[in-house]
Amino acid sequence: MSAASVIKVVQELLSNEDRASISAALINKKVDLAFLLDPSWKTSVDRDAVVTELIRRSSQWIGESSTLKNEAGHVGWLNATRKSHWRYWQRYREFMERKASLDSVDELDKVTDEILGLIEDPVREGSWDRRGLVVGHVQSGKTGNYTGLICKAADAGYKIIVVLAGIHNNLRAQTQMRLDEGFLGYETHPDPDAIKTIGVGTLDADPSIRPNYVTNRSNNGDFNSAIAKNLGITPEKRPWLLVVKKNKTVLEKLNKWIRNHVADSEDATTGRKTVTRLPLLLIDDEADNASVDTGEDAIDENGKPDLEYSPKVINGLIRTLLHSFSKSAYVGYTATPFANIFIHERGETQKEGPDLFPASFIINLGTPNTYVGPSKIFGRRTADGREKGLPVFRAVKDFASHDGLSGWMPQKHKSTHRPLYEQTDELPPSLKEAVDAFVLACAARHLRGQGESHCSMLVHVTRFNNVQNFVFEQVEAYVRYQKQRILRGVDAEQVLARLQSLWVSDFMQTTATTRTQEGNMDVPISSAWVDVLNCLPNIVADIEVRKINGTAKDALDYADAGKGLKVIAIGGDKLSRGLTLEGLCVSYFLRASKMYDTLMQMGRWFGYRPGYVDLCRLYSTEELADWFGHIADASEELREEFELMAASGSTPRDFGLKVQSHSVMLVTSKLKMRTARSLMLSFSGQVVETVSMRCDKEALASNYDAALSLFAALGNAYHNPIVRERAGASAKWNGCIWEQSRPQHVIDFLTSYKTHADAHKVNSQLLAQFIDMMNRSNELDEWTVAVLGGSGAAFNPIPGVNMVIRQTDNPDRNDRYSIGRLLSPRDESIALSSFEWDDALKLAQGAWRNDPAKQIKQKEEPKEPNGPSIRRIAGLQASGRRRGLLLIYPMDPQKTNHRLLMAQPHPVIGFGMSFPDSQSGIKVEYKINNVLWELEYGSSE
């Protein structure tokens, strides 16, 4: 506690310093000043550890949050005077300052103020209903955010606070524990007399402000009949907290209790009972899971709500709860908001009231620089290939046979599958290595002074409980084998030699690379093997293997486990959403869902890894790495769109239209249909490019012929170089261009072109259909077509144009030629006039000015517009015609670095297409039957 006190004092001393001036020398100086306050600290506090922690905190920053809002019916109310005597928030702020930098806590204060201000003043008279959504990142601290919001809401006067915490008991209990610590200030138990002060309660334990609780932290502590029978509620000063599962029985009992024991008014006509004196705040954690109505026909053919429609059970019960209060605020939290955006904004029924569309606001939380997300692990696409991510991914290839139909864990297996590696009841070598890596990571963290911190390993290879049981037995047997050898010192040579080899060849190298590559990640120098060896016996002795699934009695209770729990968690769906694995170091992951939100939620390895990011490992398939890399690119693009919309004053509904037109983000749990699955794809406002292409001789020749036919049909072009005036200067491209081209030429090219069957976003046939449908609505009926060259050999069909060079990131793949990026935003601007280019640049600069995180990464404001701003301006043309852009890139096969292509006579023809924004809502349908959907995208559950 003394160290925490010193850190708090020094943070206060540093709070008035300019961020740029904070250095190790200044921190040491402030620590000396702090020690003058209490001389005993010099002997009781580890000074070096305090300085290291303060240096880590001083290097943290959080990007600015951005907001889309609809002020209709809202009355602004939150000001400094209203906040002056708040005690729940004050003690939570002090509690958080023990863990995080002042800048981080200041940003939490700022964004929770914004959320609270956008719901409603709880003392406002009359009836009101506000609904919003907060979008964070997987494992990024959303619980801490809504804990802060709850504290402020209670201070402001919200009396009933309900938190919907997932669909499993262990997640609900984990959330209850977090709120016990951050809001209540004491442990909740079935016995109300067994109160133990914890968390914020140690800072201010005044009984007069102690919140009431209805649910408790035990695994069976959810709202139930026994509680409801004996519980009364009165409009007293202290708020009530309920943490409940999204479960039919639980929510029905809660609604019944509200109607029978809390409601104070009844409608004389309908008999509907409501609560008028107590304002409700409903926090929906993982708001895209179970809360969204996946039924059909909520809206009639005239676009009006069907008041007699019956929504899905959980959705209906949540809406009924909100509809039972005349004053209610709903705030959903999620990292994957796409299902929520698909909710119809006009959905409403007589019994349940409005649907859960976040009509009032959507807030996109800023990203901390210390957050390890998809782009940090898998990198981003660039014209020179995918930029390097953290060197922690390890490809797994030994889990199944080459045809994917047999082996230890084939992707498409049944619940009766028995995992056998080469017909023996043991783990594949890759999973054995992953367990070894976990042992080494635990040892390294111990040597780094993190021995009292929890360490976890995730094994997620199947959704079937029966198969998980077999995996559990195999992992437990392997860990038991390690313990017997290392602890007894008998026949340990082989085990220790394997661990030493992995430490030297993998861990030491990865640490060195990460230290060079990630200067702000606080990566220590690697320990020597002899030091690791000496602590191995104590490490392996503490390792436990747990099953976390629907039938297991095991639970990950970090709070009651003491210090330094070391656990290998084996499970499926319970591990795939919401549940936090403390100190997650190693993940072994084979689940192959291609549904965007399911895949992101399964990414338990995202989050914060202070001081040990180099020790983390992700063992998975190359296919999954491809998908996550694609997600990183799509997510960043969508965030840029959001920021542009926020800067221009758009509403949540505007963002809904944008997400619904995204050809990748549509792969989401909203598509839980009955017998046939449909992807209704739109490409408006998007850029598509061929980054994964066929490399067989037939496709290369066919695509080359398609390009030649296009050139012949277009006729004479404006030849090399292409020149455009930009802000007083000239921009030039090596190539040729056709302007005011007919759409049929583009459609014919796409119809003839053979895209790769596994291309995530580019399907030439669907693109052709989409353009044809847009033409029927008088959109995209004019095209700019350009051939862009580079520094390769001459492209003979067009004199003066050279081929571009795009090297593959995987030269030995026989099934595809994969590259990083084909085009750049600069290429997208080739069709813009100088005035349009200026307007697009102003949009991009405005988004940069509104995001401090971007300003830190990119010191100077943009000198050129980005892709989203270009497509936004292209969609705002006065003529309303909205021209499309097709870019052809002939790639030099000799410079591809691809084994098969270097011997081919034809150039590799790639293309990119930039589609302007459109409000038409036109989409092209891609149908697939239910069986094929499950095989391709995985289960929607």
User: Does residue 83 lie in a domain region?
Assistant: no
Of 70, 110, 660, the C-alpha closest to 337 is 660
Q: What is the Cα 939 distance to its own chain's centre?
A: 19
Same domain, residue pair 277 and 350:
yes
Residue 781 belongs to some domain of the structure: yes
In a domain, 941, yes or no: no
Is the residue at 203 inside a domain? yes
**For 134-148, what is each residue's pLDDT tens digit?**
988 766 678 899 999
Write the pLDDT tens digit of every residue in 477-526: 999 999 999 998 888 999 999 999 999 999 999 999 998 887 666 788 89
Q: How many CB atoms lie within 10 A of CB 322?
A: 19
Nearest Cα to Cα of residue 512 among 618, 440, 614, 372: 614
Residues 600 and 718 in one domain: no
Task: Evaluate the omega torsion of the peptide bond into residue 235 and state whether it is cis, within 30 degrees of 0.
Answer: no
Residues 541 and 656 in one domain: no
Domain co-membership, 576 together with 438: yes
**DSSP state letter for 671:** G
Tokens 């029966």 -> residue? 466
- Average pLDDT, stretch 641-646? 75
- Residues 713, 690: Cα–Cα separation, whole Å: 22
Same domain, 651 and 722: yes
Question: What is the pLDDT, as a whole number, of residue 608?
Answer: 73
Asked, for residue 928, whether it belongs to a domain, the answer is no
In this structure, are 228 and 152 located in the same domain?
yes
Token pair listed for 687: 């850029």
**Integer angstrom CA distances of residue 839 from 422, 727, 831, 860, 871:** 62, 11, 14, 18, 11
- Domain co-membership, 256 together with 340: yes
DSSP letter string, 374-412:
HHHHH--EETTEEPP--TTEEE---SS-TTSSSSSS-SS
Residues 6+ apart with CB under 8 A from 31: 6, 10, 47, 50, 51, 54
Angstrom distance (rounded) from CA 172 to CA 219 = 8
Residue showing tokens 């297409």: 913
- Choose the final residue of a domain: 316, 337, 364: 364
Is 306 in the same domain as 254? yes
Between residues 452 and 471, the one the model is more confident about:
471
- Residue 290 DSSP label: S
Neighbours of 797 (CB within 10 A): 14
Q: How many CA atoms lie within 13 A of 629 on its CB side?
A: 26
CA 544 vs CA 147, 564, 617: distances in Å:
31, 12, 19
The number of angstroms, rounded, from the C-alpha of 874 to the middle of its chain's C-alpha atoms is: 29
pLDDT of residue 661: 44
Strand partners of residue 731? 724
pLDDT digits (tens, 9 = 90+) for 239-264: 999 999 999 999 999 999 999 889 99
- Give the Cα separation of 462 and 435 in Å (integer): 18
- Cα dist from 361 to 132, 622, 638, whole Å: 5, 38, 17
- The answer to whether 766 and 681 have CB atoms below 8 angstroms apart is yes
* Band of pLDDT at residue 674, cut at 50, 70 and 90: very low
Q: What is the pLDDT of residue 594?
A: 54
Co-location of 777 and 809 in the same domain: yes
How many angstroms separate the Cα of 794 from the Cα of each of 201, 738, 790, 896, 902? 74, 20, 9, 15, 16
- Domain range for residue 843? 630-667+683-922
CA 273 – CA 296 distance, rounded (Å): 28
Could you tell me which residues come within 8 angstroms of residue 560 by beta carbon, excluding any fewer than 6 positions away? none
Look at residue 931 and tell me if it is in a domain.
no
DSSP string, 150-194: HHHHHHHT--EEEEEE-SSHHHHHHHHHHHIIIII-B---SSTT-
Are 209 and 324 in a shared domain?
yes
Query: Quick one: CA dihedral 163, 167, 173, 175, positive or negative?
Result: negative
1 has a pLDDT exceeding 60: no
787 with 903, same domain: the answer is yes
| 1 in a structural domain | yes
Q: How many domains does the chain fold into? A: 4
Two structure tokens written together for 854: 């971007």
Q: Is residue 445 part of a domain?
A: yes
Are 522 and 647 in a shared domain?
Answer: no
The pLDDT confidence band at residue 306, using thresholds 50, 70 and 90, is: low
Residues in the chain: 941
Tens digit of each residue's pLDDT (9 = 90 or more) over 697-742: 999 999 999 999 999 999 987 777 899 988 778 899 999 999 989 9
